[in-house]
Amino acid sequence: MSKEKSLFAIELCISFIFILLLIAPISLLNAGNVEAGKDKSIVCSACHGQNGNSINPLWPSLAGQHQQYTIHTLKAYQNGTRLDAVMQAQVMTLTEVDFEDIAAYYNAQKMEEKDYDYALAKKGESLYRGGNASTGVAACIACHGPTGRGNPGAGYPSLAGQHAEYTEDALKDYTNGERKAGLNDMMQSLAARLTTEEIEAVSEYIQALGSK
């Protein structure tokens, strides 16, 4: 085989591998051992539930969350870009492998269905799907998807089925600056334009999405 043909073959193989990486499912690109994560998450279960479904509505359920989002969140607590005394103490000694294993375990769990206020959720559905043009609030559906499952490739978390009380608190924390968004300041900007009633309604709809 000529030198030119050999170089062409190598370039072709590299291009093929690159294309496979681009189209490969996110789950195949994520590392992490589910069984190892199950053992490592025992401490986490005190607040987030044995299978990632928290029984306290003020604490988030982690079941079904995208691996990369969970890893990013744990790193944020560890490096101090996200503040919470309890969480920072828990992740202080964890390694990259620990993050990957824990994230893989929670991603493999299923969010449990929850009861919800139908009338309130219907009000929230309008905001989630259509936003509020008069106040400049974009539709949540744009980033978190029609079913609330988010977009793992873009770093947007799954919200479907999350406790309404936790979501309310998170939106209020974005509003008052106590919580910083990991990707940009989008959430602070949007949350600041929401009324208390809108926050309650859209949070209830997000909880209801776990039952769809």
In the prediction, which pLDDT does 177 show? 87
By mean pLDDT, which of 6-15, 128-137, 139-148 is the weakest?
6-15
Q: Choose between 26 and 151: higher pLDDT.
A: 151
| Distance, CA of 173 to CA of 188 (rounded, Å) | 8
Q: Is the pLDDT of residue 14 over 70?
A: no
| Full-model pTM | 0.84
Q: Choose between 1 and 18: higher pLDDT.
A: 1
Helix 67-79 and helix 96-107: axis angle, to 10°?
140
| Distance, CA of 198 to CA of 192 (rounded, Å) | 11
Phi, then psi, of 137 in degrees rounded to 5: -90, 120
In the prediction, which pLDDT does 162 show? 98
Tokens of 44: 């986490």
In the prediction, which pLDDT does 22 show? 42
Res. 2 pLDDT band, cuts 50 70 90: low
Res. 12 pLDDT band, cuts 50 70 90: very low
pLDDT tens per residue across span 40-75: 999 999 999 999 999 999 999 999 999 999 999 999
57 DSSP assignment: T
By mean pLDDT, which of 93-107, 136-150, 171-185 is the weakest?
171-185
